[in-house]
Amino acid sequence: MKRVLLGCTFALTMTATFAQTIDELKAEQATKKDSIAAIQSRVDALQGQIDAFPGWEKGAFGTIGVNLSNFNNWYSKGAPNSSAGNIGITVNAFANLDREKFFWKNAATVNLAWVKLDDKNDPNDSESFESASDIFDITSLYGYKLNDKFAISALGEYRTSIINNFNDPGYLDLGVGGTWTPIKDLVVVIHPFDYNFVFAKSGSVFESSFGAKIVADYTRQIGKVNFKSNFTTFQSYKDSNFSNWTWTNSFGYTLWKMIGVGFDFGLRDSKAEALNYTLNAPAPLGDPNATFANVDNKLQTYWLIGLNYSF
């Protein structure tokens, strides 16, 4: 009987002890779960801030324009047996990083076009496509923000042609100054301390000089519309004949998925380029005696309409 009582007492004691231990473990587990939940909440909040933090913003869109034609015995034309063609390609790309204290904006523009007019009755006529527009431009702008609108900045810009006369001329601008960003998509750069390095063959009219650099760029996507307008100018302190400006514009409208229609046009003024062309062009377009004083510096223009593709 004593053994039975002792056994019952031991069993009851173990049961009570076990129940107490389970309750304690459950209580501790609940505490740990609360701690884990609190930690996870903080982790989720941090991740939300990371996700909301602005990072690299990248994009690209371009236009392809093609126009081909062929005529056989079409007597109403001056050249009844001829073929003609126009091919143009424009690509605009950007990669921008915007942080609380600084920004870094990078952009590239390529515009290439070829034309052909082959008179089949003229054996001396060229049958190949000739280069028309030939533009390559890449810029990199870094700015340290003084506030939401103004920053101290440094700019590097390189411009040249890539089909014909690569780096002849080629322009490299390096300068410092200020950048104004009144709205998200508009950037205005004013650099009074800029050096314009010009690369060209020896004996050309081009010269490097110190001057001021001004750039205004507006790039935006509104629904199905892509738009980019860029104006850049260098004003030489050495001689105004070495100054130049370029204004390019690209529009794209998406019709289906990423395919649509595009329109590009550009304007440019460079007296040094006009003089260099006049001195080297064959007669009657050329004039070996031309100077900055008498050269006919006409406004340079181009435009392109065609299919548009957005990345």
Task: Report pLDDT digits (tens) over 128-145.
Answer: 777 777 889 999 999 999
Q: Can you read off the two tokens belonging to residue 168? A: 């002849």
User: Quick one: 6 and 103 in the same domain?
Assistant: no
Q: Kindly tell me if the per-residue pLDDT of 159 is higher than 60.
A: yes
The whole-number pLDDT of residue 5 equals 45
The larger pLDDT score, comparing residue 196 to residue 306, is at: 196
Lowest mean pLDDT among 37-46, 158-167, 206-215: 37-46
User: Quick one: 213 and 98 in the same domain?
Assistant: yes
The whole-number pLDDT of residue 135 equals 84
List the domain range (segments joined by +) for residue 215: 56-310
User: Quick one: 106 and 126 in the same domain?
Assistant: yes
The larger pLDDT score, comparing residue 194 to residue 53, is at: 194
**Which residues, listed in sequence order, are joined to residue 222 by a DSSP beta bridge?**
225
User: Quick one: 163 and 114 in the same domain?
Assistant: yes
The larger pLDDT score, comparing residue 112 to residue 77, is at: 112
User: Quick one: 62 and 95 in the same domain?
Assistant: yes
Q: Can you read off the two tokens belonging to residue 236? A: 């030489």
The larger pLDDT score, comparing residue 236 to residue 4, is at: 236
User: Quick one: 64 and 2 in the same domain?
Assistant: no
pLDDT digits (tens, 9 = 90+) for 229-266: 999 999 999 999 999 999 999 888 888 877 888 888 88
Residue that terminates a domain, selected from 9, 37, 53: 53
State the pLDDT confidence band at 28, using cuts at 50, 70 and 90.
low
Q: Can you read off the two tokens belonging to residue 146? A: 């003084």
User: Quick one: 303 and 190 in the same domain?
Assistant: yes
* CATH for 143: 2.40.230
Residues 6 or more apart whose CB falls under 8 angstroms from that of 133 comprise: 88, 111, 112, 113, 266, 302, 304
The domain tally of the chain equals 2
The whole-number pLDDT of residue 169 equals 84
The whole-number pLDDT of residue 280 equals 83
pLDDT digits (tens, 9 = 90+) for 37-70: 666 666 566 655 555 555 788 888 777 777 777 7
Q: Can you read off the two tokens belonging to residue 140? A: 């990199």
Q: Kindly tell me if the per-residue pLDDT of 221 is higher than 90.
A: no
Mean pLDDT in residue range 255-282: 86
Residue that terminates a domain, selected from 33, 53, 73: 53
* Separation CA 116–CA 67 (nearest Å): 10
State the pLDDT confidence band at 205, using cuts at 50, 70 and 90.
confident
State the pLDDT confidence band at 195, using cuts at 50, 70 and 90.
very high
The whole-number pLDDT of residue 288 equals 87
The whole-number pLDDT of residue 287 equals 86
The larger pLDDT score, comparing residue 294 to residue 26, is at: 294
The larger pLDDT score, comparing residue 28 to residue 302, is at: 302
Q: Kindly tell me if the per-residue pLDDT of 12 is higher than 50.
A: no
User: Quick one: 19 and 115 in the same domain?
Assistant: no
User: Quick one: 37 and 117 in the same domain?
Assistant: no
Percent of the chain having pLDDT more than 90? 31
Q: What is the mean pLDDT of the chain?
A: 81
The whole-number pLDDT of residue 251 equals 86
The whole-number pLDDT of residue 285 equals 77
User: Cis ω on the peptide bond leading into residue 282 (within 30° of 0)?
Assistant: no
The larger pLDDT score, comparing residue 35 to residue 161, is at: 161
Residue that terminates a domain, selected from 9, 36, 53: 53
Query: What are phi and psi for residue 73, nearest 5 degrees?
Result: 55, 35
* Separation CA 114–CA 117 (nearest Å): 11
The whole-number pLDDT of residue 126 equals 72
User: Quick one: 156 and 261 in the same domain?
Assistant: yes
User: Quick one: 182 and 47 in the same domain?
Assistant: no
User: Quick one: 239 and 162 in the same domain?
Assistant: yes
Mean pLDDT in residue range 19-35: 63
Q: Judging by beta carbons within 10 Å of its beta carbon (0-12, 13-18, 19+), is residue 255 exposed, middle or buried?
A: exposed
